[in-house]
Structure 1
């Protein structure tokens, strides 16, 4: 079996683009599983003061990609080919947490499930659930 991608790759990926701008941080990572946290900020909210659905979906997608990528051989990264999210409740907490698990990873396709939770100091509740299919592609040279 090939050597899997190192955890440092996930840190590199989240230090660019949307993840960096939004303030996403990795709370936990192991092969096939990741937990991402995104703190509440006014620019991430919709009109009623809850996390915007697009932000929730983006965090879920990022988590799925990291979960699948962490099970791929070095030099490969998972990119989204299909993604579905169900919004279950408003995300009105101080942060949202995406927990993803790669449930099947093959040579070219990986599938992950994602649960997103809204959390404040007293409670945590599920606000979204999703699935994602990722295709393994060559890692861009900038991330090698």
Structure 2
């Protein structure tokens, strides 16, 4: 019984905190979004973005604005020193981001990709940087 009352008390406390946060949020500004928050090493693109379609497999080099993957202020901790990472789809998108960050953690990186040689060269450049 004591445990149930402790849980109920904690739940009530959390609801009270959330109501306070909600009330404070309602008093902020006029409700209009000011645009994307800009933080970090670069200015981030803001919508609207141009419509783009590419037949599969696509070419990341042709996308405008170019995807962001480099995490310029991230410093690896070398947790993957001496390890090897084989990354499928490493020429673009999430695969490229993973390849770059694994390399910063100290891993030797090998990527597997289809026919996007130009994109794969960009990944190679970023991994070796």
TM over 0.5: no
> Is the helix fraction higher in 1 or 2?
2
Structure richer in strand, relative to its length: 1
Structure number with greater CO (CA < 8 Å, separation at least 6) is 1
Q: TM-score, normalised by structure 2?
A: 0.26
| Bigger CA radius of gyration | 2
